């Protein structure tokens, strides 16, 4: 479960890194992530006006591009020279045999983050908490809304792919936190840290606004083979 992070230390990091510019709206957010059985690693989100690049903080490594205008996700793999594409499709959260609950509450004892109130968020199936987060209300709202649309697009592919998953593996948390996930965690602002029942933990380590960036980071390799996700349920949010 989540522990309240030392938000005051993170605020100092943010203030030191911010380099605001009236002519540049680029935002870079970095996370420290942990998964069971895997060494901790970093994930970087670069937000342009209409796209997101997600990578492991390496310009030359594999990466994901989300085109917010076209509502398409591109996953670039240099090892096999391929680009996996995921297009947005309309979907609805079905009526489950269990209760899907989204709960928000002001986080007690947590200091404000960048003058923003910190909320705790829970997504649960009946009494089982599938994911939880601490969210700074009103922080990086444009980026949060873009991430919500990214999450919805990613879930559209998962909804199509769920037919390939055996019934006994379709746990309530899999269904609401991975497959039918409408990005509700992004509704109030930007998550400072997140925890998922499958063991994934994510903590924001820094963010920078008004940053200049290399436009080539948002380009796709022209010579790579492109294919659609199909029935592959393994692709998930980085």
Q: Model confidence over 78-106: pLDDT tens digits?
A: 999 999 999 999 999 999 999 999 999 99
88: which residues sit within 8 A by CB, 6+ positions away?
Answer: 71, 72, 149, 152, 153, 156
φ/ψ (deg, to 5) at 97: -80, -5
Block means of pLDDT (10 residues each) for the chain, 238 residues, are 44 36 68 90 95 96 97 97 94 95 94 95 98 97 97 93 87 96 97 94 95 89 88 43
H/E stretch holding 13 reads: helix 7-17
Is residue 2 assigned to a domain?
Answer: no
Q: Which residue has the tokens 């037919």?
A: 163
CA distance 71 to 129: 30
How many Cβ atoms sit within 10 Å of the Cβ of residue 1?
6
Is residue 129 assigned to a domain?
Answer: yes
Is residue 210 assigned to a domain?
Answer: yes
Instruction: Give the pLDDT confidence score for residue 16 in this predicted structure.
Output: 30
User: Number of folded domains in the chain?
Assistant: 1
CATH code at position 107: 2.50.20.10
Domain that residue 116 falls in: 7-224
Instruction: Give the pLDDT confidence score for residue 220 in this predicted structure.
Output: 96
Instruction: Give the pLDDT confidence score for residue 24 in this predicted structure.
Output: 41
pTM: 0.84
Is residue 90 assigned to a domain?
Answer: yes
Is residue 237 assigned to a domain?
Answer: no
Is residue 41 assigned to a domain?
Answer: yes
Instruction: Give the pLDDT confidence score for residue 54 in this predicted structure.
Output: 98
* DSSP-assigned letters across all residues of 145-173: HHHHHHHHHHHHHHHHHGGGS-GGG--HH
Is residue 11 assigned to a domain?
Answer: yes
Quick one: what percent of the chain has pLDDT higher than 70?
85
CA distance 51 to 63: 13
């Amino acid at each position: 479960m989540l522990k309240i992070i030392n938000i005051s230390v993170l605020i100092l990091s943010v203030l030191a890194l911010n380099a605001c510019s009236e002519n540049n709206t680029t935002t870079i957010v970095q996370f420290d992530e942990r998964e069971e059985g895997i060494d901790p690693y970093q994930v970087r989100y670069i937000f342009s006006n209409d796209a997101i690049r997600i990578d492991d903080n390496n310009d030359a490594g594999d990466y994901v591009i989300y085109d917010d205008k076209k509502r398409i996700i591109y996953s670039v793999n240099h090892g096999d020279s391929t680009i996996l594409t995921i297009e947005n499709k309309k979907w609805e959260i079905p009526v489950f045999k269990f209760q899907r609950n989204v709960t928000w509450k002001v986080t007690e004892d947590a200091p404000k983050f960048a003058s923003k109130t910190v909320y705790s968020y829970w997504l649960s199936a009946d009494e089982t908490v599938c994911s939880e987060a601490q969210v700074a209300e009103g922080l990086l709202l444009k980026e949060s809304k873009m991430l919500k649309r990214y999450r919805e697009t990613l879930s559209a592919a998962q909804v199509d792919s769920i037919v390939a998953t055996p019934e006994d593996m379709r746990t309530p948390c899999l269904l609401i936190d991975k497959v039918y996930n409408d990005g509700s965690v992004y509704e109030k602002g930007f998550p400072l840290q997140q925890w998922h029942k499958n063991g994934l933990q994510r903590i924001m380590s820094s963010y920078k606004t008004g940053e200049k960036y290399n436009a080539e980071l948002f380009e796709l390799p022209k010579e790579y083979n492109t294919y659609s996700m199909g029935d592959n349920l393994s692709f998930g949010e980085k």
